[in-house]
Amino acid sequence: MPGSSGNLGYIAIDGAEGLFRGASLVVDFRGIPMRFYYTDPIKPSRLERILYGNALEVYLREELILESLVNSVEAKPSLWICREPDLLGPLKSLTKGKVLFLASSHRSPMDAAGNVESTGEPWVYMVQADSVSAPLRVVFPENTKDDEVKQSVALLVDAAKTMELLEPFGRIQKALVLEEE
C-alpha cells in the first residue's frame, strides 16, 4: 500500500556458461536487505542435457531454481520484481501476488512521478517512478487486471522516493559472484 511500510522481492536467474543459479533479495522501501536467498550453481550433466533436450533450461530455471527461491521467502513481498520477462508467468503462478518485469529506458522523463504511458504492447508500460530519472519499462504478466497494475505502479512510486529501484539487481549479481569465490 502506498505510504505504508512494504517490501520488494527481487528475483534473478542466470544461466551463463552452462551454470544455472538464482537469487532473491527482499528489501524494504529504503532498499535495506531483509532476506537474501540463493541457489548453488547447477551444472547439468551431458546425460541430463540429452534426456531433457530443449526443456532442460525451462525445467532448471522455473521448477528447480525459481520455485526454490520463492518457497524460501517466509514473509511475502508486496511486489515481486524480476529482470527476465520469461519468468513473469511462472513467478505469478508461484507467488499468486503482484509481479512485474522492470528495466531501464533511455526516454526523457515524463512530467511527474506516477505518470504511466502505454507502449502499445499488451501489458507493457512506461512508468515515471521518480521526478528526475528516465521512466522505467514495466511489463506485467498477461491478463493482469487494471487495479493490480495501478497498485503495483503505486508501490514502485512509493519505494522510488527512498531507493533506486533497479539497484538491488546489481547487489544480487555481486553477491552471486562473491559466493563463487
Q: Which pLDDT score, from 0 to 100, does residue 17 have?
A: 80
Distance CA 86, CA 127 (A): 20
Three-class SS state of 138: strand
pTM to 2 decimals?
0.92
Q: Which pLDDT score, from 0 to 100, does residue 5 have?
A: 60
Distance CA 171, CA 138 (A): 20
Please give the CATH number for the structural domain made up of 7-180. 3.30.2170.10
Q: Which pLDDT score, from 0 to 100, does residue 4 have?
A: 45
Q: Which pLDDT score, from 0 to 100, does residue 178 have?
A: 76
Distance CA 11, CA 8 (A): 10
DSSP secondary structure letters along 17-79:
GG-BEEEEEEEETT--EEEEEE---B---HHHHHHHGGGHHHIIIIIIIIHHHHHH-SS--SE
Could you tell me how far CA 161 lies from the centroid of its own chain? 19
Mean pLDDT in each 10-residue stretch from start to end of the chain (181 residues)? 70 89 96 95 94 94 96 94 95 95 96 95 96 96 94 97 97 85 62
Q: Is the four-CA dihedral 78, 7, 2, 164 of positive or negative sign?
A: negative
